[in-house]
Amino acid sequence: MPKVLVTGGAGFIGSHLAEALVGRGFQVVVLDDLSGGFLENVPEGARFVRASINDVKLVNRLFESERFDHVCHLAAYAAEGLSHYIKRFNYSNNLIGSVNLINAAVNNAVRSFLFTSSIAVYGSHPELPLREDTPAHPEDSYGIAKLAVEQELRVSREIFGLDYVIFRPHNVYGERQNIGDKYRNVVGIFMNQILQGRPMTVFGDGTQTRAFSYIGDIIPILVEAIDKPEAYHQVFNIGADQPYTVNELAEAVARAMGVAPEIVHLSPRNEVWSAYSSHEKVERIFGPQAKHSLDEGLRRMAGWVREHGARESQVFGQIEVRKNFPVAWLA
């Protein structure tokens, strides 16, 4: 069977993808520095390499020795709001690290390169849902980095013939999410707060709208895409269709966790207020997909969260810009 490199394979989405690939019989190598993932997430049957995608010498040696057929690049630090304040860290990890992988993929004749981007590349738009041809105007450093990698893949195809597929997932939640990360993954943040007996904290009045995507609904498409020529050289939105306000999400999380909703509203932060996307294009190529309702997805995640317990909230230690940093993130 083909050999696949999964970067970020000890993390949330990456570990689910690695597990699904192993289940399909692929040879899977997981590359992860465990800065945001956990060794326990690496599936049995995958070979684990602990290293950073920023270690260019190691990356090159790995590609030369393993001769990967496909690369699934999911390693990233996906904190949109925080990325304003950690620009150097963001670009080093989310852009330069990606370029290291693209270079190695070209130099070692990789057959396809799957990249998980983000709907953060769109920024704010009055017309919703967001479509793949909606102009990209990212409003945070994370979205800028993701868009830059998308452009690098496009030109790498034009110049070097590297086949690629880009997915723009949004607000993915589910089992194995790092609920101790206080800067991203709002569902995990809410569940962790509930486990700790604390109120759920919401920036602003909670009328921001998002569509929340259950992990089990996107993994089958990612697996299929790595060896699907009809999908090559295209960008796809992927995730849930139905938008909810953050207040509605908080109430749904409380139901899933079996508690009464207790919400504390904090000062607004700089963020896109409404963002959810159309999935007509991905369904044309991959066919209609059954999707979990929000309540069902949250119920599944809540069972896993209760089993594994609360995590201590992690305070990011490399803040580069202090001006206008949200007070709620200082503790």
Q: pTM for this structure?
A: 0.96
Mean predicted confidence (pLDDT) in 97-114: 98
Domain 3-172+214-238 has CATH 3.40.50.720: yes
- Give residue 101's pLDDT band: very low, low, confident or very high (50, 70, 90): very high
- pLDDT value, residue 330: 83
- pLDDT value, residue 151: 98
Kindly report, as residue ranges, where domains of CATH 3.40.50.720 are found in the chain.
3-172+214-238
- Express each pLDDT in 152-194 by its tens digit: 999 999 999 999 999 999 999 999 999 999 998 999 999 999 9
Residue 329 pLDDT exceeds 90: no
Mean predicted confidence (pLDDT) in 320-329: 91
- Express each pLDDT in 205-263 by its tens digit: 999 999 999 999 999 999 999 999 999 999 999 999 999 999 999 999 999 999 999 99
Q: To which CATH superfamily is domain 173-211+241-277+291-315 assigned?
A: UDP-galactose 4-epimerase, domain 1 (3.90.25.10)
Backbone φ and ψ for 116, nearest 5 degrees, come out as -95, 110
The count of other CB atoms within 10 Å of the CB of residue 121 is: 25
Kindly report, as residue ranges, where domains of CATH 3.90.25.10 are found in the chain.
173-211+241-277+291-315
Residue 179's contacts (CB-CB under 8 Å, 6 or more residues apart) are 185, 188, 189, 191, 192, 195, 305, 310, 311
